[in-house]
């Protein structure tokens, strides 16, 4: 087959290929540049890639698939790299906390409290790193993390809803408020909603008994509640 | 700031601070305790700052944020000095009016004053309000004068003078002797004499000794310690240094719950400032006495407030109690002699050193000296912190200071001593508040929670509440507490759902005995108190539950909701708000609850307008006959 004079992005192509290309351009309604972006970056390796062996459109779609595959791989590698970087950064932060307490074993609870305050939960790698740094076995760390109420081993939702069940709130109807909140959010106390929007907790006294029954959402106090007011309050957070 | 080298240096500094203060200068103080913060005092303060600046008055008027005033029911509280005009429930919008009327013109805004509910009279000064008038404020006194973030404020009000007096003129033995002579009893609950505890630690073998402030206030409904730690941290620190001096300790801990972030913040700052001024650290006030304080934040476990558990928590381990064959004052933190006292106990020490043991002994009863702070909460008009001399009657506290029960309801009981205490019925209301007297009626002083309950409170439900709380907080180390509480909860649950039998009450009493005798720490030993005291005074309520009715109409399983066809005005509110669609009805037609669908969520009862009062709760009585469908409402004339 005689080679024509047509060129595509600087590469000479056959007439047949040129007509296929224009057809493709018409069918896919893509501009020449877009076609280029879709995978033709490899066209300077036209011959080595064997693009002249099959109809160009087939070759292009094969190329496109390959390009997507590499792009996805690249994305995965990037995400992984970011995750690793993030983790390393987190471990650096934990190092700072541990160093602040002079790597002292007796400060374990204080160190965990600071990690909790920073991430709102205790990620496993953080605990493992603390175990490594303080030379305290993981079992002891987990014992503390599960014993005290301040620690959480699961990620928490965007908004923290705390319903007070102290004695003063209890006699003023706190349990009814909790039931309503549970029903409104579709989760039980201690759980996080599936969309990670709300975490619901019951607490034993917030010390503002004059306001009882009271709930606290992200640090905003809503006092002197009745069950019918709960949903309106919750709907103001998204 | 150069460190103060002697008691004279401190006195000179005080003179200098006081001379700079102008008592005639206008000053707006805003209560910034947690209670008022929950009511929005931050915004009120910001509004004042902004408005004063806009009107170019910031040089003429000071704005100060103080500790908790105690009258949390009416927060945020704003006081305008020098006239000491007290405004209650102030909103950011009120700031403009206060500045234009009171600050500029000296006029009083009646609307924001306290109204006496009996006489309807307006009261302009805090000290004239009945809530304050009937108290004896000693330890809380300076809470509303001091900016907790300013050490100068504290020094100006004679702060650290007790420390200066002790370090420059008294030997450790003399300080100890004074506290012993004052008969100061621990304010944390049990009321053990503080002086004797100090002496044991002082005489215990070992060079290194520790002193500890217990601010792990876990009792639900009690917040005295937090208010002191937040509002006047230097007072507690001064008391702790005095104790350390008497005991011969050079290192102290302040154990604060992390749930009290403001207390942690203010205490940290106070320690830093005290170190800067030479009131903590090496060679305090040139006396050669060294002392340092570390803050330890508690991570949230009720049992960690128990002394031996608190000490293991300080060591960085799980805060579980240990048997106390050897007292912690001999072998405590890291097996060294450790003296632990409650916040309020430490805060009382400077007063004793300054005024002497005889003065302290002149306040209170034979067995309990001084004052005690209570958090008066629950079904009471004036919720807040009250400080009264020991020996005042419960009735005076609830009626004179607390202003009685809201909404004309009838008083039923007052619960003292937190989960370890008991419920005191009306017949003992004239009993004096005193460590020994409260024990006689089956309750205890505890740390100072005082929860008032009215006729709408179910005593079985209350006992169940405390039993569940304690079962949840039990560390599980010893079997009587772990398993006993579980069984108590089970039985109470059965009674509250109408499945109880007469034998259950006997089993409860037996279990209570085992818990008291065989538990490892005081959490378990006293855990049955709420059950026992309610059984003792409100046995009829338990029996009523067993027969299938809840007199207070609280226990869900024993009540049904019903709409009175005579009263229903078909306003549709209950129908609209019912989350399960259990209510049917339409305009002009009596609404009816479908008992099959009803989940007893209380919403209809809550939303039904008071003027109709058509939704009612029925317990133990037969259901009224069903109304025929489509019954027309009887319109009120």
Domains and CATH numbers, chain A: 7-69 (no CATH), 78-147 (no CATH), 159-235 (3.40.30.10)
N- to C-terminal Cα separation, chain B: 77
**Per-position DSSP letters for chain A, written without gaps between them:** ----S-EETTEE--HHHHHHHHHHHHHHT--HHHHHHTTGGGGGGTTTTTTTSS-HHHHHHHHHHHHHHHHHHHHHHHHHHHHHHHHHHHHHHHHHHHHHTTT-GGGHHHHHHHHHHHHSS--HHHHHHHHHHHT--HHHHHHHHHHSTT--SS---SEEEEEE-SHHHHHTTHHHHHHHHHHHHT--TT-B-TTS-EEEEEES--S-GGG-S-EEETTEEE-S--GGGHHHHHHT--
**Which residues of B are less than 8 Å from A151 in CB distance?**
299
What superfamily would CATH give domain B8-133?
Glutaredoxin (3.40.30.10)
Widest distance between CA atoms in chain A: 96
Mutation target among B70, B217, B296, B299 for the A interface, most CBs of A within 10 A: B299
Q: How distant is the Cα of B34 from the closest Cα of chain A, in angstroms? A: 7
CATH architecture of B371-454: Roll (3.10)
- The pair of structure tokens assigned to B332 is 């405590």
Reported as a pLDDT band with limits 50, 70 and 90, residue B531 is very high
CA pair distance A80, B618, nearest whole angstrom:
62
Identify which of A171, A172, A210 has the shortest CB distance to residue B35. Answer: A210
Closest to B327 (Cα-Cα) out of B305, B313, B308, B306: B308
Contact A113 B297 (CB under 8 A): yes
Check if the beta carbon of residue B90 is closer than 8 Å to that of residue B98.
yes
Walk across the sheet containing B85-87 and list its strands: B61-66, B26-31, B78-81, B85-87
User: A180 CB near a chain B CB, below 8 Å?
Assistant: yes
pLDDT exceeding 90 applies to what percent of chain A?
A: 41
Contacts of A28 (CB under 8 A, 6+ apart): A35
Contact B218 A204 (CB under 8 A): yes
Residue the block writes with tokens 């209350």: B462
In DSSP terms, B63 is beta-bridged to B28
Distance (Å) of CA A194 to CA A139, A151, A185: 29, 20, 10
Segment A173-182 shows an average pLDDT of 92
**Which residues of A are less than 8 Å from B601 in CB distance?**
176, 179-180, 183, 227
Domain ranges of chain B: 8-133, 151-361, 371-454, 459-546, 559-618
CA pair distance B536, B509, nearest whole angstrom:
10
CA pair distance B340, B310, nearest whole angstrom:
9
When mean pLDDT is compared across A87-91, B219-223, B541-545, B567-571, the lowest value belongs to B219-223
Mutation target among A210, A211, A219 for the B interface, most CBs of B within 10 A: A210
pLDDT of residue A41: 47
CA pair distance B565, B591, nearest whole angstrom:
8
Segment B122-144 shows an average pLDDT of 92
Q: Strand, coil or helix: what is B314? A: helix
pLDDT of residue A70: 84
CA pair distance A150, A161, nearest whole angstrom:
15
Q: Strand, coil or helix: what is B339? A: strand
Segment B137-150 shows an average pLDDT of 92
**Per-position DSSP letters for B214-247, written without gaps between them:** EE---STT--HHHHHHHH-HHHHHHHHHHHHHHH
Contact B469 A210 (CB under 8 A): no
Residue A39 has pLDDT above 60, yes or no: no
pLDDT exceeding 90 applies to what percent of chain B?
A: 73
Give me the CATH topology for the region B459-546. Answer: de novo design (two linked rop proteins) (1.20.1440)
Q: How distant is the Cα of B299 from the closest Cα of chain A, in angstroms? A: 5
Segment B101-129 shows an average pLDDT of 90
- The pair of structure tokens assigned to B57 is 């008055």
**Which residues of B are less than 8 Å from A228 in CB distance?**
577, 603, 606-607
Q: How many CB atoms lie within 10 A of CB B236?
A: 26
Residue B281 has pLDDT above 50, yes or no: yes
Identify which of A143, A148, A228 has the shortest CB distance to residue B299. Answer: A148
When mean pLDDT is compared across B114-118, B134-138, B146-150, B625-629, the lowest value belongs to B625-629
Query: Complex ipTM, two decimals?
Result: 0.84
Segment B618-635 shows an average pLDDT of 84
Contact A210 B384 (CB under 8 A): yes
Identify which of A107, A203, A209 has the shortest CB distance to residue B316. Answer: A107
CA pair distance B75, B90, nearest whole angstrom:
7
CA atoms within 13 A on the CB side of B100: 6
Residue B34 has pLDDT above 90, yes or no: no
Pairing relationship of beta strands B114-115 and B122-123 according to DSSP bridges? antiparallel
Segment B58-84 shows an average pLDDT of 90
**Residue-level length of chain A:** 238
**Residue-level length of chain B:** 637
**Residues B179-196: pLDDT tens digits?**
999 999 999 878 899 999
Segment B45-54 shows an average pLDDT of 92
Reported as a pLDDT band with limits 50, 70 and 90, residue A33 is low
Check if the beta carbon of residue B432 is closer than 8 Å to that of residue B513.
no
User: A30 CB near a chain B CB, below 8 Å?
Assistant: no
Instruction: Please state which of the four CATH numbers 3.90.226.10, 3.30.930.10, 3.40.50.720, 3.40.50.11540 is assigned to the domain occupying B151-361.
Output: 3.40.50.11540
Cis ω before B82 (30° cut-off from 0): yes
Q: Strand, coil or helix: what is B169? A: helix
**Residues B192-214: pLDDT tens digits?**
999 999 999 999 999 999 999 99
Q: How distant is the Cα of B274 from the closest Cα of chain A, in angstroms? A: 21
* H or E segment and range at residue B28: strand B26-31
Identify which of A109, A204, A210 has the shortest CB distance to residue B469. Answer: A204
CA-nearest residue to A113 within chain B is B299
Contact A208 B317 (CB under 8 A): no
- The pair of structure tokens assigned to B479 is 């079997």
Q: Strand, coil or helix: what is B117? A: coil
- The pair of structure tokens assigned to B452 is 């008032």
Segment B167-180 shows an average pLDDT of 95
Q: What is the pTM of this model?
A: 0.86
Residue A50 has pLDDT above 70, yes or no: no
**Residues B253-272: pLDDT tens digits?**
999 988 888 999 999 999 99
**Residues B417-454: pLDDT tens digits?**
888 889 999 999 998 999 998 888 888 888 888 999 99
CA pair distance B169, A177, nearest whole angstrom:
58
For the B559-618 domain, the top CATH level (class) is alpha beta
CA pair distance B590, A131, nearest whole angstrom:
67
Q: Strand, coil or helix: what is B388? A: strand
**Residues B312-349: pLDDT tens digits?**
999 999 988 988 888 999 999 999 999 999 999 999 99
Contact A180 B226 (CB under 8 A): no
Identify which of B34, B301, B315 has the shortest CB distance to residue A106. Answer: B315
Check if the beta carbon of residue A161 is closer than 8 Å to that of residue A181.
yes
**Which residues of B are less than 8 Å from A221 in CB distance?**
37-39
Contact B297 A109 (CB under 8 A): yes
Taking all residues of chain B, what is their mean pLDDT, rounded to a whole number? 92
Contacts of B567 (CB under 8 A, 6+ apart): B612, B613, B614
pLDDT of residue B288: 93
pLDDT of residue B441: 87
- The pair of structure tokens assigned to B159 is 């702060």
Contact B378 A107 (CB under 8 A): no
Closest to A187 (Cα-Cα) out of A159, A216, A164, A220: A159
CA pair distance B239, B245, nearest whole angstrom:
10
Contact B377 A170 (CB under 8 A): no
**Which residues of A are less than 8 Å from B378 in CB distance?**
167-168, 171-172, 209
CA atoms within 13 A on the CB side of B227: 30
Q: Cα dihedral sign for B298, B304, B310, B316?
A: negative
Taking all residues of chain A, what is their mean pLDDT, rounded to a whole number? 83
Residue B149 has pLDDT above 70, yes or no: yes
Q: How distant is the Cα of B183 from the closest Cα of chain A, in angstroms? A: 30
CA pair distance B413, A9, nearest whole angstrom:
92
**Which residues of B are less than 8 Å from A214 in CB distance?**
38
Q: How distant is the Cα of B415 from the closest Cα of chain A, in angstroms? A: 9
- The pair of structure tokens assigned to A156 is 């928490």
* H or E segment and range at residue B354: helix B343-355
Distance (Å) of CA A221 to CA A211, A233, B148, B263: 9, 11, 23, 18
Task: Tell which A residues from 182 to 201 touch B, by Cβ distance under 8 Å.
Answer: 183
Q: How distant is the Cα of B569 from the closest Cα of chain A, in angstroms? A: 20
**Which residues of A are less than 8 Å from B603 in CB distance?**
180, 227-228
Helices B539-546 and B459-473 pack at an angle, to 10 degrees, of 90
Q: How many CB atoms lie within 10 A of CB B425?
A: 18
């Amino acid at each position: 087959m005689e080679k024509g004079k047509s060129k595509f992005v600087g590469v000479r192509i056959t007439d047949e290929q040129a007509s296929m290309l224009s057809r493709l351009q018409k069918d896919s309604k893509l501009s020449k540049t877009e076609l280029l972006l879709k995978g033709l970056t490899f066209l300077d390796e036209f011959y080595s890639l064997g693009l002249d062996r099959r109809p160009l459109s087939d070759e292009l779609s094969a190329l496109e698939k390959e390009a997507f595959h590499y792009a996805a791989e690249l994305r995965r590698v990037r995400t992984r790299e970011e995750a690793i970087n993030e983790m390393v950064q987190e471990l650096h932060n934990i190092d700072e906390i541990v160093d602040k307490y002079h790597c002292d074993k007796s400060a374990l609870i204080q160190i965990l409290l600071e990690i909790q305050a920073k991430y709102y939960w205790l990620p496993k790698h953080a605990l493992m790193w603390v175990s490594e740094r303080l030379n305290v076995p993981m079992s002891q760390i987990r014992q503390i993390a599960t014993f005290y109420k301040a620690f959480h081993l699961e990620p928490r939702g965007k908004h923290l809803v705390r319903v007070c069940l102290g004695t003063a709130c209890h006699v003023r109807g706190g349990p009814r408020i909790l039931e309503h909140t549970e029903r409104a959010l579709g989760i039980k106390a201690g759980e996080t909603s599936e969309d990670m929007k709300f975490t619901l907790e019951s607490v034993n006294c917030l010390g503002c008994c004059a306001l009882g029954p009271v709930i606290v959402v992200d640090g905003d106090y809503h006092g002197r509640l009745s069950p019918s007011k709960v949903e309106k309050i919750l709907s103001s957070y998204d | 700031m150069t460190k103060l080298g002697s008691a004279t240096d401190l006195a000179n500094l005080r003179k200098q601070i006081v001379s700079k203060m102008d008592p005639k200068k206008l000053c707006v103080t805003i209560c910034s305790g947690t209670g008022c913060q929950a009511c929005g005092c931050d915004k009120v303060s910001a509004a004042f700052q902004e408005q004063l600046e806009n009107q170019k008055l910031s040089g003429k008027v000071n704005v100060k944020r103080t500790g908790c005033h105690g009258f949390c029911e009416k927060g945020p509280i704003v006081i305008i000095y020098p006239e000491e005009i007290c405004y209650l429930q102030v909103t950011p919008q009120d700031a403009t009016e206060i500045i234009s009327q009171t600050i500029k013109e000296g006029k009083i805004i009646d609307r924001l004053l306290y109204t006496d509910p009996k006489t309807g009279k307006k009261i302009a000064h805090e000290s004239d309000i009945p809530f304050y008038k009937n108290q004896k404020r000693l330890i809380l006194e300076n809470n509303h004068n001091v900016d907790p973030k300013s050490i100068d404020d504290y020094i100006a009000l004679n702060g650290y003078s007790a420390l200066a007096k002790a370090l420059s003129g008294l030997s450790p033995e003399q300080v100890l002797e004074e506290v012993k002579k004052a008969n100061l009893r621990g304010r944390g609950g049990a009321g053990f004499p503080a002086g004797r505890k100090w002496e044991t630690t002082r005489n215990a073998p070992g060079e290194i000794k520790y002193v500890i402030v217990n601010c792990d206030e876990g009792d639900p409904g009690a917040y005295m310690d937090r208010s002191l730690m937040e509002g006047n941290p230097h007072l507690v620190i001064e008391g702790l240094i005095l104790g350390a001096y008497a005991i011969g300790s050079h290192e102290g801990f302040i154990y604060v719950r992390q749930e009290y972030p403001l207390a942690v913040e203010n205490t940290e700052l106070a320690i830093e400032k005290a170190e800067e001024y030479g009131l903590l650290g090496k060679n305090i006030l040139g006396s050669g006495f060294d002392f340092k304080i570390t803050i330890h934040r508690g991570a949230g476990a009720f049992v960690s407030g128990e002394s031996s558990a608190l000490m293991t928590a300080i060591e960085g381990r799980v805060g579980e109690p240990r048997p106390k064959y050897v007292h912690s004052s001999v072998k405590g933190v890291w097996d060294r002699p450790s003296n632990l006292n409650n916040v309020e106990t430490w805060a009382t020490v400077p007063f004793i050193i300054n005024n002497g043991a005889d003065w302290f002994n002149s306040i209170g009863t034979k067995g309990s000296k001084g004052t005690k702070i209570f958090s008066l909460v629950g079904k009471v008009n004036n919720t807040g912190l009250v400080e009264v001399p020991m020996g005042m009657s419960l009735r005076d506290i609830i009626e004179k200071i607390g202003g009685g029960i809201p909404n004309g309801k009838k008083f039923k009981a007052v619960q003292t001593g937190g989960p370890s205490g008991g419920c005191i019925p009306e017949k003992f209301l004239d009993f004096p508040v005193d460590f020994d007297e409260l024990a006689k009626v089956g309750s205890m002083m505890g740390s100072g929670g005082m929860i008032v309950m009215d006729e709408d409170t179910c005593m079985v439900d209350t006992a169940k509440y405390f039993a569940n709380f304690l079962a949840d907080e039990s560390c599980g180390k010893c079997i009587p507490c772990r398993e006993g509480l579980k069984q108590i909860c089970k039985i109470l649950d059965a009674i509250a759902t109408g499945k109880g039998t007469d034998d259950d009450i006997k089993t409860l009493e037996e279990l209570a005995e085992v818990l008291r005798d065989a538990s490892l720490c005081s959490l378990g030993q006293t855990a049955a108190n709420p059950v026992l005291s309610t059984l003792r005074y409100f046995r009829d309520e338990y029996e009523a539950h067993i027969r299938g009715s809840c007199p207070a109409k609280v226990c869900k399983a024993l009540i049904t909701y019903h709409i009175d066809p005579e009263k229903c005005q078909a306003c549709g509110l209950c129908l609209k708000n019912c989350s399960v669609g259990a209510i049917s009805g339409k305009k002009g037609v009596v609404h009816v609850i479908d008992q099959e669908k009803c989940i007893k969520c209380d919403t209809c009862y809550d939303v039904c307008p008071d003027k109709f009062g058509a939704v009612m709760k029925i317990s133990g009585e037969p259901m009224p006959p069903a109304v025929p469908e489509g019954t027309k409402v009887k319109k009120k004339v």
